[in-house]
Amino acid sequence: MVRDIPPVSYGNLAVKRPEIYYGELSSDYVVVNTEVQEFSYPTTEGNVYTSYEGGGGVRLDSLLKRALFALRFKTEKILLSSDIKPESRILYYRNALERVRTIAPFLIFDKDPYLVISDSGRLVWMVDAYTTSSRFPYSTPIDGRTNYIRNSVKAVVDAYDGTVKFYVSDPADPVLRVFSGIFEGVFEPLEAMPDDLERHIRYPQGLLSVQAAIYSSYHMTDPQVFYNKENLWEIPVFSERTMEPYYTIMKLPGEDKEEYILLLPYTPAKRDNLAAWLAARCDVPNYGKLVVYTFPRDRLIYGPKQIDARINQDSYISQQLTLWGQRGSQVIRGSLLVIPRENSLLYVQPLYLAAVDKAGLPELRRVIVAYENEVVMEENLELALERLFGGRKAARARPAGTAAPVAKPDETKNTELAREAMRTFERALDKQRRGDWAGYGEELERLEGILKRIAR
């Protein structure tokens, strides 16, 4: 929806101030508005230059300031450079996380700031902040130390001029109330946040991970069950890594419309099937509400590890993965998403292909979709869903008591041959892309033989 340099926007997104002077990778100081032009972006006719127009940083309008900053950053260039003029500004603490941590070191900040676009076309970093303590009575510690955590603050950092504001998202937090009394004027109520930014607040992944870990035991409310740990849950392990919460847009059971949520599944302890899933709602007016949906314990609901095994056991999919993983190509299996659908679950996993060398860019090649006992792989999600549910729709569309049309032996045979022809054609294209002309010729010969069998 936003692409190219300078940015070109599609839809209702418009980036009017694309420069990022304060970001995630900005660690060094810079001096702007000097005699040296600031490179912005290249064009076919030459480079385009710009000049900083923001109010960030400190003006270097005196020899004393230049000397002090030269001492601070241990470089004589700030003091001796003839390119610096009185209108020049020095920008430092340009990393968004470092910036908020320097201003409010008494808060714990989420490790993943995210970038949003305001209605005015400016880029703004949003950072979730927590208050923590190790002295909350009768509370289980999560890391051997912290036993109290609340997401009480939403921090925003303007990517152009570095302006930082802190908004209180949980005014009932007693720890934050103490900080607010000490540092008057630092924290503003959430109602003061502009609407175009408030629409982008989200439930933090770090907080839900902590809550999910604690809830895996404390969802058992019966003392006997809790003591014996009869219904203990675990967060699934997938590809040798513990699954992390992920954001998705979906319609929760019983709701009328889709919403933006943070989702994390559970499995029973030491088992791979699903036991429940935990959802945190991000949209106003339900922001911050947690919902838990449990699955019947007498039914087998496949978990991520089981679905991954079913994918690996599929002969066609495993054959394609082996084929793509040869001769300088790398198959990248994306995150396995567990998406609730009505009374069942849909599993979606993208497949990317990239060259082994560092210059290789991942390219989406296939999408794997699993539903109940079926696993399919197609070029995109739409085709996979059509293949998975197309037959089900046709079956539901038939009147009750009407028998399904029986395919003739020749029709069944031709259908299987057509599928084999398509797979052979895809293998031929893959070998052509990799320059394997001998293999390409062999696949074409196989394709020719299959087409002749269909034409008989």
Report the Cα–Cα distance between both ends of the chain, in Å, rounded.
Answer: 49
Please write down the HEC assignment for all residues of 103-126.
HCCCCEECCCCEEEECCCCEEEEE
CB atoms within 10 A of CB 24: 17
Q: Which tokens sit at 314?
A: 């599929």
Distance CA 58, CA 61 (A): 9
Q: Please give the model's pTM, rounded to 2 decimal places.
A: 0.78
Name the CATH code of domain 304-400 (choices 3.10.450, 3.40.1440, 1.10.3470, 3.30.420).
Answer: 3.10.450
CB 264 within 8 A of CB 234: no
Neighbours of 333 (CB within 10 A): 14
Contact call for residues 366 and 379 (beta carbons, < 8 A): yes
pLDDT digit string (tens) for the chain, length 456 residues: 888 888 888 778 889 999 999 999 888 999 999 999 888 888 888 899 999 999 999 999 999 999 999 999 999 999 999 999 999 999 999 999 999 999 999 999 999 999 999 999 999 999 999 999 999 999 988 888 899 999 999 999 999 999 999 999 999 999 999 999 999 999 999 999 999 999 999 999 999 999 999 999 999 999 999 999 999 999 988 777 888 999 988 888 888 888 999 999 999 999 999 999 999 999 988 999 999 999 888 888 888 889 988 998 988 898 888 888 776 788 888 888 888 776 678 899 999 988 877 677 888 989 999 988 899 999 888 888 888 887 555 444 444 444 444 444 555 555 677 677 777 877 777 776 666 666 777 777 777 677 667 656
Distances (CA, A) of 63 to 28, 81, 93, 413: 22, 12, 22, 87
Identity (one letter) of the amino acid at 446? R
Peptide bond into 7 cis (omega under 30): no
Task: Indicate the DSSP class of residue 190.
Answer: G
DSSP element (H, E) containing 89: strand 89-91
Helix (H, G, I), strand (E, B) or coil at 420: helix
Rounded-to-integer distance, Cα 183 and Cα 69, Å = 27
Q: Torsions phi, psi of 205, nearest 5?
A: -65, -40
d(CA 88, CA 234): 56
